[in-house]
């Protein structure tokens, strides 16, 4: 049975994807969770009706939220992911042998449970069998308060600034992240679409610049996200993503990345003018 799933990106435009089967549909304490099968993108997770990940294009987002930071920091040993309950970010972090521990702090246990059940290619490292991975089911805003100077890298792999993720886009949270990072730590946060979300970006980067000495935006193409033009914030206490980047180390990596590479690491920070204007000081 062919059903068209439509996500509205604005009141007047969106994306529509042909689905063949609903694999799971349920409500947690926080949100509606649906996992459907689609003809174009494979299995797809929706939270409150918004596309989170698809099997076909998740490699782009997870490569780009993880590898720029882990190849800029010279020796990332301890990494925290806030959100990321599908497991894709943890999977990519585990490819870095120098990482001794990756902690996942996801507010909704149902997302982890159903990702393990229906999205095994993403959840491969969060099924409890990897001793280098620790899972917490908790609000990232609460979790971060109890940790000072503990992490080399913190990735905020959250939903959009609505519902439980609202606080993850505010200056108070960025100050807590700053404190939880070691003196040379790096924070990455998904920072929405430069095409549709100029206002969110302006506020977000203003807050980041009030806290971190180095703040840059970089881009990636994610076909199932609003406009397909997506972005990430690189907020750093010491290392700059371009001038402190060791291209050789990235080029010599001993694992395949389907989207990220040592040249794209640099190119992703080159922005179209309108995106640069969104976050101008």
- The minimum distance between CB 107 and ligand SAM, in angstroms, equals 4
* Smallest gap from residue 52 Cβ to ligand SAM (A): 4
Query: Smaller CB distance to ligand SAM: residue 111 or 262?
Result: 111
The CA-based angle 69-70-71, given to 5 degrees, is 90
Classify strands 151-157 and 181-190 as parallel, antiparallel or unpaired: parallel
Identified binder of ligand SAM from the candidate list 34, 92, 139, 262, rule CB under 6 A: 139
Residue 105 in the binding site for ligand SAM (CB under 6 A): yes
Does residue 218 interact with ligand SAM by CB under 6 A? no
The torsion angle over the Cα atoms of residues 33, 40, 90 and 45, rounded to 10 degrees, is 0
Integer CA distances (angstroms), 140 to 60, 95, 105, 271, 274, in order:
24, 24, 6, 30, 31
Nearest CB to ligand SAM, comparing residues 181 and 262: 181
Tell me how far apart the alpha carbons of residues 181 and 64 are, in angstroms, rounded to a whole number. 20
Q: Measure the CA–CA gap between 18 and 12, rounded to whole angstroms.
A: 19
Catalytic residue among 2, 157, 160, 184: 157
**52 sits near ligand SAM (criterion: CB under 6 A):** yes
| 50 vs 238, beta carbon nearer ligand SAM | 50
Q: Is 125 in the site for ligand SAM (CB under 6 A)?
A: no
Q: Which of residues 20-39 bind ligand SAM (CB under 6 A)?
A: 30
Tokens representing residue 80 in the block: 């925290």
Q: For residues 204, 210, 212 and 217, what is the CA-based torsion angle, rounded to 10 degrees?
A: 30
Inter-residue contact 6 to 14 (CB < 8 Å): yes
- Between residues 68 and 84, which has the closer beta carbon with respect to ligand SAM? 84
To the query of whether residue 157 is one of the catalytic residues in this protein, the response is yes
Size of the site for ligand SAM (CB under 6 A): 25
Among 68, 76, 85, 185, binds ligand SAM (CB under 6 A): 85
Residue 189 to residue 106: CA distance in whole angstroms? 15
Residue numbers at the binding site for ligand SAM (CB under 6 A): 30, 47, 52-53, 61, 82-86, 105-108, 111, 139-141, 157-159, 164-165, 168, 190
Give the active site residues.
157
């Amino acid at each position: 049975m062919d059903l068209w799933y439509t996500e509205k990106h604005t009141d007047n435009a969106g994306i529509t994807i042909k689905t063949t089967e609903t694999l799971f549909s349920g409500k947690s304490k926080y949100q509606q969770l649906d996992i459907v099968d689609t003809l174009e993108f494979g299995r797809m997770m929706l939270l409150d009706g918004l596309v989170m990940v698809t099997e076909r294009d998740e490699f782009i987002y997870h490569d780009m939220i993880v590898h720029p930071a882990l190849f800029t920091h010279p020796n990332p040993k301890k990494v925290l992911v806030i959100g990321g309950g599908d497991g894709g970010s943890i999977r990519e972090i585990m490819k870095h042998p120098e990482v001794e521990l990756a902690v996942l702090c996801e507010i909704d246990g149902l997302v982890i449970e159903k990702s393990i059940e229906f999205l095994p290619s993403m959840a491969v490292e969060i099924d409890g069998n990897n001793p280098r991975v620790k899972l917490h089911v908790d609000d990232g805003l609460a979790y971060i308060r109890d940790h000072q100077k503990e992490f080399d890298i913190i990735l905020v792999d959250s939903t959009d600034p609505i519902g439980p993720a609202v606080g993850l886009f505010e200056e108070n949270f960025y100050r807590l992240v700053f404190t939880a990072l070691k003196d040379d730590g790096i924070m990455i946060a998904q920072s929405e679409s430069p095409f549709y979300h100029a206002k969110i970006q302006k506020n977000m980067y203003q807050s980041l610049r009030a806290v971190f000495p180095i703040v840059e935006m970089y881009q990636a193409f994610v076909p199932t996200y609003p406009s397909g033009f997506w972005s990430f914030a690189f907020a750093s206490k010491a290392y700059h993503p371009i001038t402190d980047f060791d291209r050789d180390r990235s080029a010599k990596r001993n694992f395949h990345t389907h989207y990220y590479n040592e040249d794209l690491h640099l190119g992703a920070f080159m922005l179209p003018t309108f995106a640069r204007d969104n976050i101008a000081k």
